[in-house]
Amino acid sequence: MAGRRTAKFSAGGVAALVISALVLAGCGSASSTSSASATAAAAPAASSSTSSTTSSASAASGQQIGMTKGGDGTYLTGAGGRALYLWVADSGGKSACSGACAQAWPPVETKGKPTAAAGVNTADLGTITRSDGSEQVTYKSHPLYYFIADKSADEVKGQGSNSFGAKWWLVTPSGDAITKGGPAAGGSSGGASSSSSSSSSGGGSGWG
């Protein structure tokens, strides 16, 4: 009889151990599955965060200022290699060109800190805030502009223009005005009239 009880107890004990093992295995599996799901859910969030950071960095990139050599000398360039100009009527590091003037001579705008290409001095780059809230690039404190009639990188139709009451000149990498040459030298360009000037002429920087 004692032998039979021992056998029954042993069989019952083995069954209990097997059941316990199965329960523990099931819990472990559930825990593993839950952990894997949590990891999978976190992955898209990390990816989204990385994408957002990249997008913000791209949006914050500033206008690059470069330079090129032409018939009038070496001068600064902006987007697409287009020539950049300074206006003699600007003074005190501020832009006096707005309204019709800014339509003919679009300010060089930037969405972030401007950057310098080879040959351009980063320390000479800066920005000013225009009346409409946009940021305009400056070089050696001169606000920079494009000319609407310059359609390609090799055009400098604004050079020497006297439109809006004062001269427009190409800018050298040293920050000086190139006051010679240019198809518009000595005259007005682009049909801009000095009577349309939104500035007080004579507030220039000494270049005539």
pLDDT in tens, 139-175: 999 999 999 999 999 999 999 999 999 999 999 999 9
Q: Where are the alpha helices (DSSP H) in the chain?
A: 2-59, 100-104
Q: How far is CA 123 from CA 26, 27, 114, 174, in A?
A: 66, 64, 10, 11
Helix (H, G, I), strand (E, B) or coil at 200: coil
In degrees, to the nearest 5, what angle opens at C-alpha 111 toward C-alphas 108 and 114?
65
What is the model's pLDDT at position 181?
73
Residues with Cβ within 8 Å of 201's Cβ and at least 6 positions away in sequence, in order, are 89, 164, 165, 166, 194
Q: Is 94 exposed, middle or buried (0-12, 13-18, 19+ CB in 10 A)?
A: middle
Name which residue leads in pLDDT, 39 or 195.
39
Q: Which is higher by pLDDT, 76 or 182?
A: 76
Sign of the CA dihedral with 111 first, then 198, 167, and 104 last: positive
Stated length of the chain: 208
Q: Where are the alpha helices (DSSP H) in 60-104?
A: 100-104
Distance CA 191, CA 95 (A): 21
Q: Which residues contact 139 (CB under 8 A, 6 or more apart)?
A: 65, 76, 84, 86, 124, 125, 126, 171, 175
Q: Is the pLDDT of residue 184 over 70?
A: no
Q: Nearest to residue 180, comparing CAs of 165, 191, 170, 189?
A: 170
Residues 172-185 have a mean pLDDT of 81
What is the chain's mean pLDDT, rounded?
Answer: 74
* 167 vs 189 pLDDT, higher one: 167
Query: 23-49: per-residue pLDDT in tens?
Result: 444 444 444 444 444 444 444 444 444
Q: What is the pLDDT of residues 49-96, one digit of tens each?
A: 443 333 334 335 799 999 999 999 999 999 999 999 999 999 999 999
pTM of the complete model:
0.63
- Cα angle: 166, vertex 171, 175; to 5 degrees: 110
